[in-house]
Structure 1
Amino acid sequence: MSATQTFSRHDVSFASGDSTCAAWLYLPTGVASPPVVILGHGLGAVREMRLDAFAERFAEAGIAALAFTYRHFGDSGGQPRQLLSIGRQLADWDAAIAHVKTRDDLDGTRIAVWGSSFGGGHAITIASRHSELRAAVSQCPFTDGLASALAVGPTASFKVMPLVARDLVAKLRGSAPAMIPLAGAPGTQALMNAPDALPGYLALVPSGMPFRNEVAARVIPTIVRHRPGRAAKDVRMPILFCVSNTDTVAPPAQTLKYARTAPHGEIKQYDAGHFEFYLGDPFEELVRDQVEFLSRHLEPVEAREMS
């Protein structure tokens, strides 16, 4: 696969549940039936928040890329807006895989998944459920809700419970959700309030793009119970874990414990923080490692047999 491949980008959408997910499809120019990697983002994030940067590099390496936005966010469908449902997001991944298998401009037998942050946890879960995948990449993954909650501190977790209760009442009444910020300043009520969370999160939003820094509060109890890292032991294909040594959102010690249980796991550790992975030198190092990994595992079977 060429490291200087040109590509084209196409606006596409695919059905998921009762609505649709909006996506970008990157196709390497002149490559017949390229392999494809599916990219999904993190907590409340949309594909415009630097998924394009990774997708472009994969396409330049001859790997098609489908970068999608979850239902209820951005320009994807789904009501109410800003609803973060783990079950629905996993269903969106299933739908994305089904979609690429139907396309005659892709090789549906050579598929990988790539997830970052909360999506990094999803990538582990999805890889454990889809044995037909060739490879997976889990970047700065959220692997254990309890570990993340303890990192924030029990006092902070307790303070948000009245807001959770208010949103659950809103759900029962069919009224507008009660929202909590996705990222906030230290000491404020937010899903992420480490010192680097708010500036790091907002740095990913393109200039001039409207973005809602909030999510329905009802998701908080499900996040605390969510432990996708446990599925790592069931991932049968090669999976690359890109771990931040200084991660303030997804504690690296717990992530590394899970990553070491993957039968064919590869682990890369970086000194950059959770929100630094998407920009500058850390991005260049990460995407270089990921291109090498994906190129190695998405090559045609004939080429693998000859090597």
Structure 2
Amino acid sequence: MSREDIEFDAQGTTLRGWFYPATGSDGDAPCVVVQHGFAAVKEMWLDRYAEVFQEAGLSALVYDHPGFGASDAVLGTPRQEIDPWQQVRCIQHAITYAQSRPEVDAERIGLWGSSYGGGHAYVTAAIDRRVKAVVGQVPAISGSHSFQQLVRIDNWAAMDAAFSAERQARAAGADAALLPVVDKDPTAMSALPTPDSYEWFQTTADDRASSWRNEVTMTSMEYFRGYEPGIYIPLIAPTPLLMIVAPLDRLADGRLATAAYEKASQPKNLVLVGGGHFDAYTGDGFETSSGAARDWFVEHLGRRRPHEGDHR
């Protein structure tokens, strides 16, 4: 598989990633923009999805969100801060960059996102008609709902106080407060306090993502609570929408995602994967999720156009 290290400008900062040219492309292939979820970096299995798309005659653009992995932070924003609306705007810059490449048919852009990035994919598809097909897997639907599931009710007031204090401290010039993304102890303070989150992030980081850092800013959690990507799902049509959902997902509630699917208009499709939130990335879950996404993009974007004399 061939890929190119790339960088592009987004809001005055530099985002970095990989470009995978479609197999056999002569300059007019569709391109899928691929972006990750909460606090993750591109090495956390995005290369495998890009390779599946590449083999199917689709180019793929993979990158790190601002302030994560190889990408610079936006001026005025600390590293490890997850601002969902900033990330949505950067997706739009990634689309612009993809369209500028000579290997890409600028009128055939797809968008793929997972987890928090799945929510971003829905929002972007609803507000940016350059997206011609969208796939979101194990998607974030409601920040407020997820916050209430992940943070004990008797800690809500303390979190409100922490958010307020953090705003005051940063306004006074203090460095951003940080908390772990995951902790081995699910009762300890962390952004994603579930055992499967700890196992997946730590194992994946050890195996293939040395650039990953187990920390996000406290402000990321305030942004998380206020982010409601599910509101945009009814606005995606007529862009073709594929939702890949794990009904047993307890991190990004699979039940909430299947209910949200019912609010979308056609064309749409729902694919279910077994297991929990992170099972979509490996094993049978990967075969299901990547295959469904590949087929959706091929159906709605087409493949690369053959070279003259190519009889396949």
| TM-score, normalisation: structure 2 | 0.90
- Is the CA contact 1:167–1:216 (under 8 Å) kept in the aligned structure 2? no
Corresponding residue for residue 249 of structure 2: 247
In 1, Cα distance between the equivalents of 2:262 and 2:209?
41
Cα separation, 2, equivalents of 1:34 and 1:217: 41
The unaligned stretches of length 5 or more in structure 1 are: 1-6, 303-307
Tell me, in whole angstroms, the C-alpha distance in 1 between the residues paired with 2:154 and 2:122: 30
Matching residue's letter, 2:177: A
Indicate if the aligned counterparts of 2:16 and 2:63 stay in contact, CA closer than 8 A.
yes
**1:19-62 deviation line (CA, Å, top 9, x unaligned):** 01111000123212110000110011111111111111110111
Alignment partners' CA distance in 1, 2:232 and 2:136: 12
The verdict on how the C-alpha distance between 1:156 and 1:40 changes in structure 2, with shifts beyond 3 A counting, is: farther
- Structure 1 residue 219: deviation in Å? 2.1
Q: Which amino acid in structure 1 is aligned with residue 219 of structure 2?
A: R
1:124-170 Cα deviation digits (max 9, x unpaired): 00000122322000110001012112222323444444543443233
**In the alignment, what sits opposite 1:11?**
5
Give runs of aligned pairs for residues 110-129 of structure 1, distance below 5 A.
110-129=108-127
Which residue of structure 2 aligns with residue 62 of structure 1?
A: 57
User: Does 2:218 match 1:217?
Assistant: yes
% identity of equivalent residues? 29
Give the match for residue 167 of structure 2: 168
1:149 to 132, 147, 150: 147
SS of residue matched to 2:212: coil
Contact 1:167 1:179 in 2 (8 A): no
Match of 2:23 among 16, 23, 29: 29
What secondary structure, in the 3-state scheme, does the structure 1 residue paired with 2:2 have? Answer: strand
1:173-192 equivalences under 5 Å are 173-184=172-183, 185-192=185-192
Residue 238 (structure 1) shift: 0.7
| CA apart distance, 1:224 | 1.2
Once residues 207 and 229 of structure 1 are traced to their aligned partners in structure 2, the CA distance between those partners, rounded to angstroms, is 31
Task: State the shift of 1:195 in Å.
Answer: 2.2
Superposition CA RMSD, Å = 2.0
1:96 aligned residue = 94
TM-score, normalised to structure 1, is 0.91
Structure 2 distance, partners of 1:65, 1:158, is: 43
Q: How far apart, in 1, do the equivalents of 2:197 and 2:64 lie?
A: 21
Amino acid at match of 1:53: R
**Aligned-pair CA distance for 1:300:** 6.6
Please give the alpha-carbon distance, in whole angstroms, between the structure 2 residues aligned to 1:40 and 1:282.
18
Instruction: Report the AA paired with residue 32 of structure 2.
Output: V
Which residue of 280, 283, 289 corresponds with 1:277?
Answer: 280
State the alpha-carbon separation in 1 of the partners of residues 208 and 62 from structure 2.
Answer: 20
**CA offsets 1:187-236 (integer angstroms, 9 cap, x no match):** 11111112211112223323471421111101222211211011010002
Distance in 1 between the 2:269 and 2:289 partners? Answer: 13
Per the alignment, residue 3 of structure 1 pairs with none
Give the Cα separation in 1 of the matches to 2:214 and 2:3.
27
Distance 1:82 1:126, change over 3 A: same
Paired AA for residue 22 in structure 1:
R
